[in-house]
Amino acid sequence: MTYLRELADGASVSLSIHVQPKSSRTRIAGLHGDAVKLCITSPPVDGKANAAVIQFFAKLFKIPKNAITIARGETSRDKGLIIRGVAAADAAAILSPLLSE
């Protein structure tokens, strides 16, 4: 899983995502290269897409929104997230069923 890496503290992960804004519904749509493809309904204007990305993953992993940081790609479709409070094994267990749909 090149899209998911455990960080040194053991309680955080780095997640690579590819965002497709202005979709008909918000959902994980499989993989896009070495990243998780996330379709969101928000437009890429005034940070709305970034806020939607953070909200989606906070709800998915059942963690507070402030536990997620966009580490790279603030203005790009390709982003790197740091998700604190989630171990790599737990994140993989949550993401795997969504990626195989």
Please indicate, yes or no, if residue 101 is contained in any of the structural domains.
Answer: no
Q: Which domain does 59 fall in, by range?
A: 4-96
- Between the alpha carbon of residue 50 and those of residues 65, 79, 88, 90, the distances in Å are 12, 9, 22, 23
Please indicate, yes or no, if residue 32 is contained in any of the structural domains.
Answer: yes
The model carries a pTM of 0.93
Orientation angle between helical segments 48-61 and 88-99, nearest 10 degrees: 110
For the stretch 37-61, pLDDT in tens is: 999 999 988 889 999 999 999 999 9
Number of domains in the chain: 1
Structure-derived torsion over alpha carbons of residues 23, 21, 71, 13, reported in degrees to the nearest 10: 10
How large is the average pLDDT for residues 73-90? 95
The identity of residue 71, as a single letter, is A
Report the C-alpha gap between 62 and 48 in whole angstroms.
21
Confidence of residue 1 (pLDDT cuts 50, 70, 90): low
User: Can you give the CATH number for the domain in which 63 is found?
Assistant: 3.30.1200.10
